[in-house]
Amino acid sequence: MSFSLNAWVVLYSCGFTMGLFMAIIFFASRKRYTPHVQNITVILLILSLLLFFEIVEETNLVDSYPFLLGISPVIDLLIWPFLISYIEFICGVRRKNWRIILYFLPLLIAIAWQIPFLVLSDASKLSFFSEGIPQSIFGLVTFKLIFTVGFLIILISTLSTSMSRYKAFIHNNKKIRLLNATRKLIWALSFIITLIYGLFYISYFKLLNLGDSDRIGSLIVSLLIYLLGSLIFNYQHLFLRKSYHKQIVNSFNGQESKYIERLLGLFELEKIYLNESLTSGDIADKVELSEQQLSYLINGQLGISISDFIATYRVNEIQNRISKGDHRSMTLLGLAHEAGYNSKATFNRNFKEHTGLTPSEYVDQLK
């Protein structure tokens, strides 16, 4: 059995260890977090496994364990169902189970594609790659690329729809920041995938002599592990289990998005926040929900408290009025009253929380 240790192995091992460590942390803390955090746990394990296969190849251990060949080309397709499920969770989208199962279909097709190779003898497997990249692997990679592009379109579309839905209260919303960070991650993932597949095709058609393109791809996988782990650690408070009764969650029957649209319509079109005496009970009645259901919808789905939700619209209203110059013919307190505030202290506090400035400082900076 031959074994080769070099700088690449050390780098891959760091990525593998980091991914495995974070996956263990998330799994050990699973009772604290929503079940969808386990999607990230699975993704981290898959990425770590991809690095493990690269370590095996880089250290020449594959010569001793040929049965490991042929697994890594298909295993990355397992990432997408879990990643899509995670994205839909943070976007407040609930799919039927059968649709999630469909996302596993490309993986099953890829496995069937690889069966002829997997049943080969160890010697045949080792000689399979001796003369470069086989035609069957080229076909499999192209097949994966087609579905990968489709999955990326689903992710970007879901995130963009969610961001546009919540853009009215983007200023002081932790969930919006999570969505924005996730969107950047997906765009980074798109770039990474473009680079990895580009390196493969460059090597296959021998357009440039890049050496072992898998090395670069594996380094990028290590970076992706770091980015995914950082995302959860930085926004872990949004993934903590909420104490909502299961009956309240189930009462929506997966229709949270419909009620969110209705809620946003009341605030953006009817501007019910202008009513100084507006209460959570009033909002619940208009949305045709109980106050407990409304609390779950705003706190659990939008990641913001009801009071902050209302305050965001009122502060935005005042900012719009100031931008139109209405503060020149009316006091700031007068604008606050017309925006729905009946307390000067609450108005000043909310305004500074959302803008970082007091109302008078905000006006002064516009001069």
Q: What is the pLDDT of residue 40?
A: 86
Q: Averaged over 285-297, what is the pLDDT?
A: 91
Q: What is the pLDDT of residue 347?
A: 94
Q: Which residue has the higher pLDDT, 335 or 25?
A: 335
Q: Averaged over 106-119, what is the pLDDT?
A: 90
d(CA 322, CA 5): 65
In the numeric block, which tokens belong to residue 220? Answer: 């990028």
Could you tell me the pLDDT band of residue 1, with boundaries at 50, 70 and 90? very low
pLDDT(132) > 80: no
Q: Which of 126-135, 223-232, 307-316 has the weakest average pLDDT? A: 126-135
Q: What are the pLDDT digits (tens) for 231-277?
A: 777 777 666 666 666 778 778 877 787 888 899 889 988 999 999 99
180, with CB counted inside 10 A (0-12, 13-18, 19+), is middle
pLDDT(167) > 70: no
Q: What are the pLDDT digits (tens) for 55-64?
A: 888 888 877 8
Domains of the chain with bracketed CATH: 7-239 (1.20.1070.10), 246-365 (1.10.10.60)
pLDDT(169) > 90: no
Q: Which residue has the higher pLDDT, 113 or 130?
A: 113
Overall pTM surpassing 0.75 (yes/no):
no
pLDDT(93) > 90: no
Q: What is the pLDDT of residue 97?
A: 67
d(CA 201, CA 353): 51
